[in-house]
Amino acid sequence: MNIWLFKHGETLPGQAGVRKMRTWTLAEALVARGHDVTWWTSTFSHQRKALLARSDADVAVGPRFRVRMIHAGQYRRNVSLARLVHHMRLGRGFRKTAGSYPKPDVIVCAYPVIELAKEVAGYAKANRIPLIVDVRDQWPTTFLLVCPVWLKPLMRIYVDHLLRAAKEIFLSATRIVAMSQGCLKWAHAVGEINAKDDRVFHLGFIPRGDEDTPESRVVEEISARVRGKLVFVYAGSLGAFYELPLVIEAARRCRRDGLTDIQFILAGDGERLAELQRLAEGLDNVSFTGWLESGDLHRVLKLAQVGLLPYRDFGEGTLPNKPAEYFSYGLPVISSIEGEFAELVDGHSLGINYRPGDLEGLYAAIKTVRNDRERRKSWSANATRAFLEHFDAREIYPLYADYVVAVGREAAARVAPIRS
């Protein structure tokens, strides 16, 4: 079977020091089942904000696995006009080149990017190819949460336009999958769909083994600084979607109240790094690592005892990939993610929830974790168990691959069902 996957913004084969994310892992599961896979993406690395190529590129990863990159320019900030232009160029680039290649038997397209997904949906419908839309985010609804106040009235008009496009995409899908029940419910509501054959496949994580690469100087320095301390870690993008200033303010309170046995590590890079470093000036209990290759990130997470999930209020469907990574290290969480993940944390005793923006709640959670060693040990064991039961990519993606193949075979046996 010839299978096309569409996703911009994930790490790609051939990039040094990166870990496999959802699309890459799904691709390998499909290849392991004897299928040919082409992953369509951009020449621009979203994580590193750098071009991987300056023109369209077609790279063979293996005998059955190719990465096809569309050149659509670049952007510096996640929330920016340049990013929206990049998305439009990406969609147009696919439309211009799609006809040059043999048609696939089934397509899996991540949502968002809306502009690319809309073009892919149109191509699939015109060629009667079964389309699985993989909903990763409640975009563009979440865009309003980080939009400047003065721009919100105009942005609401734009968001309404994009939601109409989203409805078309979901209606065009043969099946919809999602990373969480909340995202699937949202997609069904936007598309005015009620489909029992749609599925949830969580964002899984593949546990890392110990790395044989040398430890960087940054990690060496942090390792020495945190020795004997209780380490709270945030690992991810330092961008507008995360309430990291709240974490820094909580660290300031720890210093004020004499909690000198606590250290915070903010691991990652992003557009707010310089701003956060300024906010943390004078705080020796906050460490920044900058961008880390996978081996060094592995070492940092092994230093920690608690994972931080300081998300802004994105509604109840958010279930990002970071919890899976934390749980794989046995890290309980302090989380502001609401909805089904909050229920998972409470129901399985995986840490403490607090409300987005609630500094008092965050600080109280930090003190509770610090003061109750036995409870922390219990939460850690529960986190490991939750990872194995809900977030282990070695279990999730073979099932996802089987689902993709089943949809393709069903379509081969009869005309692919298209919602209308």
* Mean of the per-residue pLDDT values of the chain: 93
Ordered structural domains, the chain, with CATH: 2-204+393-413 (3.40.50.2000), 217-391 (3.40.50.2000)
Res. 211: pLDDT tops 80: no
Tell me the CA distances in angstroms from 199 to 23, 183, 416, one per residue in order: 16, 11, 18
> Where is pLDDT greater, at 333 or 413?
333
pLDDT, tens digit, 9 for 90 and up, residues 97-110: 999 999 999 999 99
Give CA–CA dist 225/223, Å, rounded: 6
Residue 104, pLDDT score: 98
Give CA–CA dist 79/143, Å, rounded: 8
Residue 239, pLDDT score: 86
Determine the straight-line distance between the first and last CA of the chain, rounded to whole angstroms.
26
Give CA–CA dist 232/366, Å, rounded: 9
Q: Which of 259-263, 293-297, 344-348 has the lowest mean pLDDT?
A: 293-297
pLDDT, tens digit, 9 for 90 and up, residues 354-363: 999 999 999 9
Residue 317, pLDDT score: 64
Question: Could you tell me how far CA 383 lies from the centroid of its own chain?
Answer: 19
pLDDT, tens digit, 9 for 90 and up, residues 42-75: 999 998 889 999 999 999 999 999 999 999 999 9
Res. 95: pLDDT tops 80: yes
The mean pLDDT of 208-221, rounded to a whole number, is 81
| DSSP bridge partners of 3 | 37, 106
**Which band of pLDDT confidence, cut at 50, 70 and 90, is reported for residue 416?**
very low
User: What H or E segment, with its residue span, contains residue 399?
Assistant: helix 393-413
Cis check: omega of the bond before 356, within 30 degrees of 0: no
Res. 34: pLDDT tops 90: yes
pLDDT, tens digit, 9 for 90 and up, residues 116-140: 999 999 999 999 999 999 999 888 8
| DSSP bridge partners of 199 | 177
The mean pLDDT of 244-265, rounded to a whole number, is 98
Residue 315, pLDDT score: 62
The mean pLDDT of 168-179, rounded to a whole number, is 96
Segments of 100-251 assigned E as strands: 106-111, 131-135, 175-178, 199-200, 230-235
User: What H or E segment, with its residue span, contains residue 44?
Assistant: strand 44-45
The mean pLDDT of 275-279, rounded to a whole number, is 97
Question: Could you tell me how far CA 171 lies from the centroid of its own chain?
Answer: 24
Give CA–CA dist 332/16, Å, rounded: 29
Residue 113, pLDDT score: 93
Alpha helices (runs of H) in 173-214, residue ranges in sequence order: 181-191
pTM score, whole prediction = 0.91
Res. 267: pLDDT tops 90: yes
Identity (one letter) of the amino acid at 104? P
